[in-house]
Amino acid sequence: MGKFTQLIALDLSGCNITDASIHALSKGCTHLTTLGLSGCQKITGAGVLALSNGFKKLTTLDLSFSEKITDASVIALSKGCKQLTTLDLSSCNITDASVIKLSIGCPSLTSLGLRWCSKMTDVSVLALSRCPKLTTLNLYNCDQITDAGVIELSQGCKQLTTLDVSWCKKITDAGVHALSNGCPKLTTLKLLFCNKITDASVIALSNRCKQLTNLGFIFCFNITDASVIALSNGCPQLNTLNLGHCNKITDASVFALSKGCTKLTDLDLAGCNITDASVVALSKGSTQLADLYLGGCDKITDASVIALSKGCPQLNTLNLSHCNKITDASVIALSKGCTKLTTINIRDCDKITGASVIALSKGCPQLTAVGLRGCDKITNTSVVALSNGFPKLKELDLIDCDNITDAGVNVLRQSRLTIRRGVRRNSTSDNYGWILMTRDR
């Protein structure tokens, strides 16, 4: 370590290191301020103790997905690393005791990640409410959190800009109302699978949190057009909105977004009850769209996709899975108008033929992921285009493309594509499709 004594940032995430390595680092690299150890499964409390004793200047630490980290480890951190501002403990085996000690020992915390820390309760959130500098908090799938905790948070953390409480299914409108009143600086709020949330919550946010840029409501079944219309009027800075599988959303929402949220770059409408009319309007009003998810919008036809190809040239991700009215005309239009596409999913669009594959291979050289599952009109003839036309391709799903045979897959292999077998739907023991996962380099 003699050559690196002045090192200030080091990322070892995913490396196969042990406590011995951390101990050596703590002796030789005492100037470290940023350390990444995400997914280092062999790191235990002993390693964290060495870290807390040796890295007194540490401000940023990522221990996420290090399952041997326990309360004892975090308590040691809270005593030794007083300057911590950013800490990620996602999926670590910790309880409220850890958060209580952090809130006392690390008063400068601005960002804390606790995803999948399922033992967390409102006690933790109450402790964090005493960290007035906190701006970012991730409580994804901390499913014991209730409105009581969120209300305390809203009263104590006025600087909060980013909050993820997805899968915290006990949260209701009361908690979101408190956030809208107490945290006016919110820019990102994710409430995925919080199915007790209603329009009342969203309307409150639209009235009081004018700086919102990123909102997520996937599988919030009680959200209706009233919510989206309010957002389109009150939050013009929105660039990311996830409404996937909010099945009460109709064309009225999309019309409103096309007029009021012209800065949208990422929009998820998968499973929503929309038609061509609103998608055409979207293509004219939200021309900066880069990522659009329309999977399961089975009323969508070629008219929508052709409009998108003309109006949204910045598209790099488009999901049209299960839009079974889509034909080759859509994909050919995309290949001409959306040449920056990196990901396209047309799974189970059973009218798609090899003409689409050939068009994409010529017009969209940036594609890295192509989903063709269930497009059973794709044949071996298309495989030549697949193997030669996509130099950056990393993922290709051909499961249930029944007319691609072993001969076709062998052509893919010859172009240094790594193939995995995938079991088809309605499969028997020897009934396989094909899925390409990576390209050998």
- Domain residue spans of the chain: 1-109
pLDDT for 390: 86
Q: Scan for tokens 């030549």, then name that residue.
A: 384
Range 6-31 average pLDDT:
94
How far is the CA of 213 from the CAs of 166, 267, 305, 364, in angstroms? Answer: 17, 12, 26, 29
pLDDT for 438: 60
Mean pLDDT of the residues in the chain: 93
Confidence of residue 437 (pLDDT cuts 50, 70, 90): low
Confidence of residue 6 (pLDDT cuts 50, 70, 90): confident
Percent of the chain past pLDDT 70, that is, above it, reads 93
pLDDT for 418: 67
Residue 348's nearest CA partner among 366, 325, 330 is 325
Q: Scan for tokens 């911590």, then name that residue.
A: 84
pLDDT for 424: 58
Confidence of residue 349 (pLDDT cuts 50, 70, 90): very high
**Residues forming beta bridges with residue 344, ordered by sequence position:** 318, 370
**Sequential DSSP letters for 248-270:** T-BHHHHHHHHHH-TT--EEE-T
pLDDT digits (tens, 9 = 90+) for 81-136: 999 999 999 999 999 999 999 999 999 999 999 999 999 999 999 999 999 999 99
pLDDT for 427: 47
pLDDT digits (tens, 9 = 90+) for 406-428: 888 888 888 766 666 565 555 44
Q: Is the pLDDT of residue 431 over 60?
A: no
- pTM metric for this prediction: 0.94
pLDDT for 411: 84
Q: Is the pLDDT of residue 383 over 90?
A: no
Lowest-confidence pick of 146-150, 158-162, 405-409? 405-409
Decide if domain 1-109 falls under CATH 3.40.1190.20: no
Cα distance between residue 168 and residue 176, in whole Å: 12
pLDDT digits (tens, 9 = 90+) for 185-238: 999 999 999 999 999 999 999 999 999 999 999 999 999 999 999 999 999 999
pLDDT digits (tens, 9 = 90+) for 37-66: 999 999 999 999 999 999 999 999 999 999
**Sequential DSSP letters for 71-110:** HHHHHHHHHH-TT--EEE-TT-S--HHHHHHHHHH-TT--
Q: What SS3 class is residue 353?
A: strand
Range 252-272 average pLDDT:
98
pLDDT for 155: 97
What is the sign, positive or negative, of the torsion defined by CA atoms of 100, 104, 106, 111? positive
